Structure 1
Amino acid sequence: MLLSTDQHHVKVHRKSYSSINALIGKGFFVPVAKDDTIKGICPTATYRLQDKADIALLNDRTLTINGAPVNGCYAHVPSPAHNALVAGSPTYTAYPGLDQLLTSARTPTTYPDYLTALINEIVKEGAQPTRAAPMTTPSQQFRAQWLPDQTLLHLTAGGDYYCTLSFDVRFTRVSRVATPCAVGLDVGLSPIAALHYDDGRPQVFAATPLVRPDMQTLSCKGQALLDDITYASGRQDAEQVVRHLVYSASEVFAEHLRLGDMHRRYVFTSRDRALQDFHQSWLPQYLWAAKIPFFRVASGYTSTECPKCRHTSPNNRCRDHFRCQQCGFGGDAHLVAASNILRRGRRGKRR
């Protein structure tokens, strides 16, 4: 069994800033030195929760600290972490029937009007106490335990607060391919992941289509629930990629992408935010827990460079198709990118 510590950041809603300032003023959060191990946030100030503070998850959008609500999307974490949050929160409530609702949303034959009626009915029924995290994927390999005393708050230069939740993650290997291989990983929206192994094997993971009801037919609570369903669907797809990599990869190479490098659509919907979280945060932490080496390689031109003759041109790619204008090599543009990522990673390690 392998043990590691994962950290996940949740942006706090502005309406909770007064609560946070009051908690800091009362000494429930105390300033700490800048922690360079915290990735993805550049805070001007960081605060750690005091041991005497009482903290629990009330629902997927409300964390209570000494009775003060701190609102954010706390379900926007991997399944093991969400399960751990719920297990450590005896006051947690959720709408009943969410797992069946997610299944319906991921079933192409479901009518949008039926999904709308189902969402409205669930919201009308109201949240109920439960000890099981809804819309998560059970894992036999990854088990998390919430560490409430390691909760952090970060204040950014823009005046925003982020909450960092910490977890002990235990990894127990269930199965493993006989000969694991190095793999190049290209991430996106369609497909969400293309893999190229160093033995030449390709693997592509497509996003599950979602039935989308008209937002105008839903109440505010219904729209928030649909947002959670959409994120949970993206999480399921992303965690399928993780399971495959843990089973078959000896080391993983992916592009070093910043949000500014990504198309706006990549972070436009909840599903896309889940895939973004997967690439930027969950993937390296999952692989670290499984002791699978993970490396970032330089981004740029991965899908327009020919893996055969190295000729690079924007004309080599047309949407999802690749055709080298110099040597005629053709293939799937996403798999070409994964192949180039793998080559760059292996070349970088030899230097």
Structure 2
Amino acid sequence: MSRRNQPDRQTLQLGSASYPSIDDLIANGTLVVHPRPERETDDPLKGVRAQTTYTLRAGVTFEVLHDDLCRVDGTVLQAQLSHLPTPAYRALVEASPSFEQYDGLDPLLQQIREGSLTGQPLLDTLEATVVAGRQPSRVPSLVVLPRSFSATWLPEEIYLFQTASGHWFLSLSFRTTFRRCSRALRPTAIGLDLGLDPVTVASDGQTDRFYAPTPLPVVRPQDLSPAAWHLYQQLVYASGRQDAEAVIGGLVHGARVVFAERLTHQGMTPRFVHGGRDQAIHDYHFSWLPQYLNAARIPFQRVDPAGTSIECHCCRDSDRHNRVGTGAVFNCRKCGHQGNAHVNAARNVRRLGLETSSWWTAARSGQRA
């Protein structure tokens, strides 16, 4: 088992309806300004563009009521608390005596993922579930118990922060631990191509593994009441979380070091950004991937994605005019290589990572950092 010194900070956007309540919490002194750290390494929200950061005044209570609501000193705030990775979500629910959730969510999600519940029966089941209401429970639904990872919630480290655009976020802290359950005979360097479909293609340079999203029934918001539609969105996110964490499981088993594209929102299509957020893929790409691997003590490095989708991994030619085909097809006119475009990108990411990684150079020379 390994444990890191720095806890994980999981960030959740607060609902806009809660903004006036946050103003009241600040006005009555329930929230106090967190002083700016003298060093960047002391910043609990490192990597987040927070304009002002607040913590809870000493003695203030924080309660989790259900997947979408928490309470600060009696004031209810909206937050999508179920949008957490599995270990953190389980730790939060198990430590929250006031938590309530709908009954029957696990078999419902399984039926949806299997495709055995669709159409009007699915709509009727969703409506019946919300009509029955939430019940007290400290055994979280919609998460698969991880074999290797566990977490402990740190209620003394709670932060609320506001961005320059005026939006409010909640940051919860967790201590994640890792216990290895299996290991490949020869773990190696793995490059990742990240996307929506497939969620990930992982390549060790010779073998390529595809992780596809689980197809779900098409449901329209106008087909359901607002509460039932919100429940379906929660199920969609939980399904995406399972798909994403399947990738993590494969990496933990077979990777010695992992390389992935350096992602930014710039240049991403609205479909990728919004679809990825709905399906947990956005959180997986940007947050969970480095956090899980860090907990497992597997080095992780981002590489410049420029050219990884157009360069041929066989001949290294990067003239886009030498590539033919669209979508998932990659054909190189120069050397004649034909293959999957996602595999080509994953192998390019791996090669680029090996060429630029100081960790890999040290490891290969027997001086692993």
Is 1:27 the equivalent of 2:34? no
Is 1:148 the equivalent of 2:155? yes
- Cα pair 1:104 1:115 within 8 Å, conserved: no
Counterpart Cα distance in 2 of 1:39 and 1:304 = 33
Gaps of 5+ in 2: 362-369
Q: Tell me, what secondary structure is at the counterpart of 1:19?
A: helix
1:18 Cα shift?
1.7
> Which amino acid counterpart does residue 292 of structure 1 have in structure 2?
I
Counterpart Cα distance in 1 of 2:239 and 2:147 = 20
CA distances 1:299-350 after superposition (whole Å, capped 9, x unpaired):
1221211011111244525110100121111111001000000011111125
Counterpart Cα distance in 1 of 2:122 and 2:245 = 24
> Which amino acid counterpart does residue 27 of structure 1 have in structure 2?
G
Equivalent residue number for residue 86 of structure 1: 93
- Cα pair 1:113 1:213 within 8 Å, conserved: no
Counterpart Cα distance in 2 of 1:347 and 1:270 = 30
Pick the aligned partner of 1:348 from 329, 334, 356.
Answer: 356
Is the deviation greater in 2-11 or in 89-98? 2-11
Counterpart Cα distance in 2 of 1:188 and 1:336 = 14
> Which amino acid counterpart does residue 214 of structure 2 have in structure 1?
T
Equivalent residue number for residue 12 of structure 2: 10
Counterpart Cα distance in 2 of 1:288 and 1:58 = 30
- TM-score (normalizing by structure 1): 0.96
Is 1:303 the equivalent of 2:309? yes
Is the deviation greater in 82-91 or in 45-54? 45-54
Percentage of matched positions with identical amino acids: 37
Q: Tell me, what secondary structure is at the counterpart of 1:268?
A: helix
Is the deviation greater in 250-259 or in 23-32? 23-32
- Cα pair 2:34 2:53 within 8 Å, conserved: yes
1:272 Cα shift?
4.7
Gaps of 5+ in 1: none
Is 1:323 the equivalent of 2:325? no
Q: Tell me, what secondary structure is at the counterpart of 2:335?
A: coil
Is 1:219 the equivalent of 2:264? no
Q: Tell me, what secondary structure is at the counterpart of 1:120?
A: helix
Q: Which residues of 2 match residues 237-316 of structure 1 at below 5 A?
A: 237-269=243-275, 272-315=278-321, 316=323
Equivalent residue number for residue 53 of structure 2: 46
Runs of 4+ more than 6 Å apart: none
- Cα pair 2:241 2:279 within 8 Å, conserved: no
Change (3 A) 1:113 1:97: same
1:29 Cα shift?
2.0
Alpha-carbon RMSD across the aligned residues, in angstroms, is 1.6
Change (3 A) 1:186 1:263: same
- Cα pair 2:276 2:282 within 8 Å, conserved: no
CA distances 1:21-41 after superposition (whole Å, capped 9, x unpaired):
222223222212346452452
Change (3 A) 1:232 1:328: same
Equivalent residue number for residue 165 of structure 2: 158
Counterpart Cα distance in 1 of 2:276 and 2:299 = 29
Counterpart Cα distance in 2 of 1:214 and 1:349 = 46
1:79 Cα shift?
0.7
Q: Tell me, what secondary structure is at the counterpart of 1:223?
A: helix
- Cα pair 1:231 1:270 within 8 Å, conserved: no
1:133 Cα shift?
1.1
Is 1:228 the equivalent of 2:215? no
Counterpart Cα distance in 2 of 1:2 and 1:242 = 17
Alignment: residue pair count? 350
Q: Tell me, what secondary structure is at the counterpart of 1:259?
A: coil
> Which amino acid counterpart does residue 160 of structure 2 have in structure 1?
L
Is 1:98 the equivalent of 2:100? no
> Which amino acid counterpart does residue 55 of structure 2 have in structure 1?
R
Counterpart Cα distance in 2 of 1:186 and 1:151 = 34
CA distances 1:265-293 after superposition (whole Å, capped 9, x unpaired):
11223665511100100010000000000
Counterpart Cα distance in 1 of 2:155 and 2:16 = 22
Equivalent residue number for residue 169 of structure 1: 176
